[in-house]
Amino acid sequence: MFKPIESNFFVVGDKRGRNQVGVQLYARDTSYSTDEGLFNIFEHVRWGLGDNQPNLMRRLIQKNTSVRSLLETHRDMMFGSGVGFFKKIIVDNKEQLVPYTDSRLEEWKEATELTDYVISAINQRVDNANVFTRWQYDPLGDWFLLSVSDSFKTRIGRRDQKPGFLVNPYFGHHSYYQIAQSERIPAFNRLDRDYNVARTVTMSLGNELIPGQPNYAFPSWWCAEEAIELANLITAFHKNGILNGYNIKYLIKMPQDYFDKEGSRNLDSKEIKARWSKWGDNLSSWLSGSENVNKSMLVKYMRGADQKALDSVMVEPLKNLMSDDAYDKVWNNTNQAITNSVGILPTLGGVKAGSGNDSGSQIRVMADYQQHFRTPIPRYIILKPVNQALRMMGYTDVIASFKEVQLKTLDANPMGKEAVVNHGQS
């Protein structure tokens, strides 16, 4: 029997009403979700099967040679030359942004450490696509101070319970996690300033509304998980290859009864096993390791009455059909796939350098394209809390906006660059 009580609550039991179990349903993410949605005892929405998806992805890239650098490149493209305040004005029936500031804005910028907040928010965005912003009301300045709550220790509260967020330093660490240690923070209400003031500390989540993801978003580079694993394996393979020799180098043939006798005495199975084991250890020390590359092996053998060699050890070198060029091709293709998944143009990410796409003028065009067309949505998400805070301070025609870096030729600007504003990002 499956009896509905409310729109998202059911009772399951037999026809006589025995063995009843309450089932609470709530929206689950399609990607990086958990199978525990029906009987979840936790107050928060779990992030991944083990509630540790950010941790898993971090472990995946911590020994990768390119992903972290690509994420930093993406971060720098978004940050440009920083954030400034601009006033909206109408010129010839067109909206323009004019640089603006006053003493109150400068004081708030210093109090909330705006630049540090923006950098931290960008790092969260490129790492896992979810920016948890902590709003703290300051009665002395009568404004809200913004700070980023690390996504590794922050989760969304269950929507079937009181809306809000939970903070626990041990989310994703099953050995240390305790429900009672979680700090519950109410959700920020953008439409009710008094509500937020009364609660002193509130929290908001900034992310893209990806179809099928009602809770947590995820960055595009997470889709390259297998490519990153492959790149890690190639690096580990080359490391082991240098230490131990690439692939199987030799085929060594020996008679099965080679160690069965010692002189005329037959050995028992224990002695035979010990001699084979010692021989294997010696062989490994002779032929493997970075100090034994290209070494020769001397094998002594006995001759019979007919002067022919008796059965002995035969060492045959094997041809390696997998060349370094083949590994390099896989490596380059893998890195290009990873770069594409991060959202960085390959040349800007250092991939395929020297392929004809890295002249100064081409890099300048690519950098401008990356900043103008690949950053507006992430920038909007990052600056949304900042602009909400400005409106709650009474600024209705002043916004925060990123100042981009536009590369210039030295004859146009001796510094080789200048700050500009993308008027379309507001």
Rounded CA separation 376/78 (Å): 8
Q: Is the dihedral of CA 166, 168, 171, 176 positive or negative?
A: negative
In a shared domain, residues 273 and 378: no
In a shared domain, residues 177 and 309: no
Residue 55 has pLDDT above 90, yes or no: yes
In a shared domain, residues 179 and 75: yes
Whether residue 49 is contained in a domain is answered as yes
Whether residue 328 is contained in a domain is answered as no
Q: Considering the chain, what is the average pLDDT of its residues?
A: 82
User: Looking at residues 126-147, what average pLDDT do you find?
Assistant: 98
In a shared domain, residues 129 and 271: no
In a shared domain, residues 47 and 110: yes
pLDDT band at residue 232 using 50, 70 and 90 as cut-offs: very high
Query: How do residues 108-124 score in pLDDT, each as one tens digit?
Result: 999 999 999 999 999 99
Residue 289 has pLDDT above 80, yes or no: no
User: Looking at residues 206-226, what average pLDDT do you find?
Assistant: 95
Whether residue 297 is contained in a domain is answered as no
Residue with the bigger pLDDT between 352 and 136: it is 136
Whether residue 348 is contained in a domain is answered as no
Whether residue 353 is contained in a domain is answered as no
In a shared domain, residues 67 and 185: yes
Rounded CA separation 339/69 (Å): 10
In a shared domain, residues 315 and 204: no
Number of domains in the chain: 2
pLDDT at 258 (0 to 100): 75
Whether residue 18 is contained in a domain is answered as no
In a shared domain, residues 145 and 118: yes
pLDDT band at residue 11 using 50, 70 and 90 as cut-offs: very low
**Angle between helix 114-128 and helix 376-392 axes, rounded to 10 deg:** 140
Whether residue 109 is contained in a domain is answered as yes
DSSP E strand boundaries for 160-313: 164-167, 183-186, 201-206, 250-253, 261-262, 265-266
User: Looking at residues 385-396, what average pLDDT do you find?
Assistant: 98
| 35 DSSP 8-state letter | S
In a shared domain, residues 181 and 79: yes
In a shared domain, residues 411 and 311: no
Rg (CA), the chain: 32
Which residue type sits at 322?
Answer: M
In a shared domain, residues 156 and 260: no
User: Looking at residues 291-319, what average pLDDT do you find?
Assistant: 63
Query: How do residues 266-285 score in pLDDT, each as one tens digit?
Result: 888 898 899 888 888 887 77
In a shared domain, residues 262 and 225: no
Contact 27, 159 (CB under 8 A): yes
| 3-state class (DSSP) for residue 336 | helix
Whether residue 339 is contained in a domain is answered as no
Residue 316 has pLDDT above 50, yes or no: yes
Question: What is the domain extent for residue 284?
Answer: 248-289+302-319
Contact 71, 342 (CB under 8 A): yes
Contact 421, 165 (CB under 8 A): no
Placement of tokens 């004019």 in the chain: 98
